[in-house]
C-alpha cells in the first residue's frame, strides 16, 4: 500500500487547447499519475481522445499514464495505447469476451493491467483471476461524463474489494473515480482506496490552485 494516497488528475477536466501545458502543471503541483479517460461514443455516451493524443502528451511529463479505456470491443486497441505511452491500462469486464486474456495481453505489452467496475458490476468478476490484476478501479459514477455526483453505495464495493485484495496477498492498487472531492476523498480512503482520480476537483481555479487542490484531496 502506498505511503500516501496516489492522486491521478483526469485530463478530461483540463483545458483541451493546451493539454501538454496542463499535464506539466499538475505534475509540478504534486500529481502522482496522469489519468486519461478514453471514450468511444459506443460503450459510453461520449467521445474523447485516441492514442495519438496520449502519444503527444507523453513527452511533457515523467509521471505514469493511467489510461482508462471505455471502449468496446477493447482488445484491438491495447497495443496502440501501450505504444503511445500508457503505463497502466484499465478495461471493463463488459468490453470484451475474455477478461483474463485481455489482462494477459496488456501485461505482455509491458503495461500494468487494471479492471474497472461500473456501479452495477459485481466484484466477483475478478475472484479467480486476481494474479493477473495490478489495479482495480471502482467507478463511483456512471462512466461517460465528468462532473457527476458521487454514488455513495460504491464505498461498500471498495470495502469488499479491499478485503479481497488483502486476502489475496497481492499488491493490487485500489482506485476510485467519479465525484472525488475533498468531501468524498476521505470516505474513499477510509474504505480502502489507495489511489484517487479527480477531474474538476483538481483543475478548478486554474494552475495556481492545482497544488492546493491536490493537497485538499489528500486531507492536507
Mean pLDDT of 79-94: 98
Among candidate residues 32, 37, 40, 66, the one labeled active-site is 37
Q: Is 126 inside a domain boundary? A: yes
CA distances from 125 to 70, 98, 116, 179, 194 (A): 17, 11, 10, 24, 20
Q: Is 1 inside a domain boundary? A: no
Residue 1 has pLDDT above 60, yes or no: no
Q: Indicate if 32 belongs to the active site.
A: no
**CATH no. for residue 71?**
3.20.20.70
CB atoms within 10 A of CB 208: 9
Task: List residues forming the annotated binding site for a divalent metal cation.
Answer: 35, 37, 68, 177
What are the start-end ranges of the E strands in the chain?
Answer: 6-9, 34-39, 65-70, 88-91, 112-117, 135-139, 173-177, 195-198
Among candidate residues 32, 40, 66, 177, the one labeled active-site is 177
**Cell numbers 499514464 correspond to what residue?**
65
Q: Is 136 helix (H, G, I), strand (E, B) or coil?
A: strand
Confidence of residue 7 (pLDDT cuts 50, 70, 90): very high
Q: Is 199 inside a domain boundary? A: yes
Q: Indicate if 37 belongs to the active site.
A: yes
**For 159-201, what is each residue's pLDDT tens digit?**
999 999 999 999 999 999 999 999 999 999 999 999 999 999 9
Q: What's the number of domains the chain is made of? A: 1
Task: List residues forming the annotated binding site for substrate.
Answer: 10, 68, 144-147, 177-179, 199-200
Q: Residue 42: which domain range?
A: 6-217
Write out the three cell numbers for 198. 479527480
Write out the three cell numbers for 30. 504534486
CB atoms within 10 A of CB 180: 27
**pTM of the prediction?**
0.95
Which range (45-49, 90-94, 191-195, 209-213) has the least confidence? 45-49
Mean pLDDT of 107-123: 97
Question: What is the pLDDT at residue 45?
Answer: 85
Confidence of residue 144 (pLDDT cuts 50, 70, 90): low
Contacts of 159 (CB under 8 A, 6+ apart): 191, 192
Question: What is the pLDDT at residue 107?
Answer: 98
CA distances from 60 to 22, 34, 69, 87, 170 (A): 9, 11, 21, 15, 32
Residue 147 has pLDDT above 80, yes or no: no
Contacts of 158 (CB under 8 A, 6+ apart): 138, 174, 176, 188, 191, 192, 193
Amino acid at each position: 500500500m502506498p505511503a500516501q494516497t496516489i492522486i491521478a488528475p483526469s485530463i478530461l477536466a483540463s483545458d483541451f487547447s493546451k493539454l501538454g501545458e496542463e499535464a506539466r502543471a499538475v505534475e509540478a503541483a504534486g500529481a502522482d499519475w496522469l489519468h486519461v479517460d478514453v471514450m468511444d461514443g459506443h460503450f459510453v455516451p461520449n467521445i474523447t481522445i485516441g492514442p495519438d493524443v496520449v502519444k503527444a502528451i507523453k513527452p511533457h511529463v515523467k509521471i505514469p499514464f493511467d489510461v482508462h479505456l471505455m471502449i468496446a470491443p477493447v482488445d484491438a486497441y491495447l497495443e496502440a495505447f501501450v505504444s503511445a505511452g500508457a503505463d497502466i491500462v484499465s478495461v471493463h469486464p463488459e468490453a470484451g469476451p475474455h477478461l483474463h486474456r485481455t489482462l494477459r495481453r496488456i501485461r505482455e505489452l509491458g503495461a500494468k493491467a487494471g479492471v474497472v467496475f461500473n456501479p452495477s458490476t459485481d466484484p466477483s468478476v475478478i475472484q479467480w483471476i486476481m494474479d493477473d490484476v495490478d489495479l482495480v478501479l471502482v467507478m463511483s459514477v456512471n462512466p461517460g461524463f465528468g462532473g457527476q455526483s458521487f454514488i455513495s453505495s460504491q464505498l461498500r464495493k471498495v470495502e469488499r474489494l479491499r478485503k479481497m485484495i488483502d486476502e489475496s496477498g497481492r499488491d493490487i492498487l485500489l482506485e476510485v473515480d467519479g465525484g472525488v472531492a475533498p468531501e468524498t476523498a476521505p470516505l474513499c480512503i477510509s474504505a480502502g482506496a489507495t489511489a484517487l482520480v479527480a477531474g474538476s476537483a483538481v483543475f478548478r481555479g486554474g494552475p495556481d490552485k492545482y497544488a492546493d487542490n491536490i493537497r485538499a484531496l489528500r486531507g492536507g
